[in-house]
Structure formats: C-alpha cells, structure tokens
Amino acid sequence: MFVEPHIGRGESGNLKGKGWIELICGSMFSGKTEELIRRINRAIIAKQRVEIFKPKIDTRYDKIQVVSHNQSSIRSTPVDFAEDILLLAGNSQVVGIDEAQFFDKEIVSVVNILANQGKRVIIAGLDMDFSGKAFGPMPELMATAEYVSKVHAICAQCGGIATYSYRLSEEKQKVMLGEKDKYEPRCRRCFLK
Ligand SMILES: [Zn+2]
C-alpha cells in the first residue's frame, strides 16, 4: 500500500519545489478511484485543503461526485479543460484528479505547475484503452510523477491478474461511457483470445 512521503512543510512557508505528483493507474475495475478516495480522505481528516477535479466527459454516474464502482464517493469539480484546474485549485494543498486519461495533453504541464507550487497532486486514470494502447496523456503523466502505483483487477475469465479492459461489444469508439455491462477485466492471455 502506498505510504505518503514525510515532507515537513518547513518554517518559512515557502513551498516552492516541495510538492510532488502521485499517479494511480490500472485497468477498469482495478480500484483506482477507491485508492484516490482513500488518499484524499486521509488528507481531509488531517485538515488539509483539498480540491478534486475530473473531466466533464466522465458523467457516468454523477456530475459532481467522484464515484467509484463500489459507490464510495467524494465531492469533485468537473472541468472542460486541464487548464481550468490551475484557476480553480486556488490555495489547496492537495489536488486530486480522477479519470485523467480523458484530459487534453495540457494536463501534463498543469500538474507539474501545481507540484512546483508546493501542492501534493494525486492523479488516477486508465493506463490503457480497450485496444491495449496507452491512453491519452497517461504515459507522460507517469513519466513525470514521483510515485506511480499500478493497481490490478482480477481476470473475469481465469481469475489471474488483469491489466486489460476488454470491451464486450463491437463498438470502435475510444471513449465509451457507461461501463460494467460493456467491459470486463482480463489478463494478457485472456485478452488476446
Ligand atoms: Zn485470464
């Protein structure tokens, strides 16, 4: 389990360069959002100022909650563009971002600016799309994050470790919302079948 690095906030209050980026990636049903919520909730209990964002495109369940599959949820702000996060993050100490794979490329510089300002940035997102290709800005986000956690699902076919989101329908469109019935987690071998 991920344990936060111990970084004191210092005396002078100058936080420049004291922030960092954590990234949680994996397939669908791997518990990415639950892990994001777990980390965020602990920061809230510690009375840290927290803001959470998600792309507007992700409207599966709820417009303003980050909702995981097991229904634990937390308040979030939907934004159109990655740059909006810079305007809305304000004086928060911790910034959470869910469904990061749907953001534009700009998200990479946005999270780095936030971390450079001294904020802790926690990102969750799908690392691969349904065809097994890297998803949107995720590779670059993984490259610039200090800490990367890859979480796994369980293969719905064989019970092995699943890293792929297998699409059960024939649709070829990359972004398809509404899920459980349309995807299942699969391991490499069962994904290739
Ligand atoms: Zn399998």
Write down the pLDDT at residue 37: 95
Residue type at position 116: N
Rg (CA), the chain: 17
* Cα of 152 from ligand 1 centre, angstroms: 12
CATH code 3.40.50.300 for 20-152: yes
Q: Is the pLDDT of residue 60 over 80?
A: no
Provide the H-helix boundaries in the chain.
32-45, 82-88, 107-116, 138-144, 188-192
Write down the pLDDT at residue 181: 77
Residue type at position 68: S
Write down the pLDDT at residue 3: 86
Which pair of tokens denotes residue 136? 């949107």
* Cα of 75 from ligand 1 centre, angstroms: 35
Tell me the range of 14-23, 65-74, 137-146, 177-186 where mean pLDDT is highest: 137-146
Q: Is the pLDDT of residue 175 over 60?
A: no
Q: Which residue has the tokens 């469109």?
A: 173
Q: How far is CA 156 from CA 23, 83, 96, 187, in A?
A: 25, 38, 29, 8
State the catalytic residues: 99
Residue 169 confidence class, pLDDT cut points 50, 70, 90: confident
Q: Is the pLDDT of residue 172 over 80?
A: no
* Among candidate residues 161, 172, 182, 184, the one with its CA nearest the CA of residue 28: 184
Check: pTM over 0.75? Answer yes or no. yes
Q: Is 146 within 8 Å of 20 (Cβ atoms)?
A: yes
DSSP annotation of 16: T
Q: Is the pLDDT of residue 180 over 80?
A: no
* Among candidate residues 4, 37, 7, 3, the one with its CA nearest the CA of residue 19: 7
Give 21 or 63, the one with higher predicted confidence.
21
| β-strands 50-55, 77-79 pairing | parallel
* Distance (Å, whole) CA 111 – CA 96: 10
* Cα of 129 from ligand 1 centre, angstroms: 17
Tens digits of per-residue pLDDT, 142-154? Answer: 999 999 999 999 9
Write down the pLDDT at residue 75: 84
* Distance (Å, whole) CA 159 – CA 151: 15
* Cα of 145 from ligand 1 centre, angstroms: 30
* Cα of 162 from ligand 1 centre, angstroms: 7
* Among candidate residues 110, 96, 176, the one with its CA nearest the CA of residue 140: 110
Q: Which residue has the tokens 């990479």?
A: 108
Task: Give just the sign of the alpha carbon dihedral 131, 183, 102, 48.
Answer: negative
Tens digits of per-residue pLDDT, 6-40? Answer: 765 555 556 667 899 999 999 999 999 999 999 99
- Could you state, in order of their start, the residue ranges of all structural domains in the chain? 20-152
Binding residues: 26-33, 98-101, 155, 158, 175-178, 183, 187, 190
Tens digits of per-residue pLDDT, 75-128? Answer: 899 999 999 999 999 999 999 999 999 999 999 999 999 999 999 999 999 999
Q: Is 74 within 8 Å of 37 (Cβ atoms)?
A: yes
Mean pLDDT, residues 174-192: 81
The helix/strand/coil state of 89 is coil
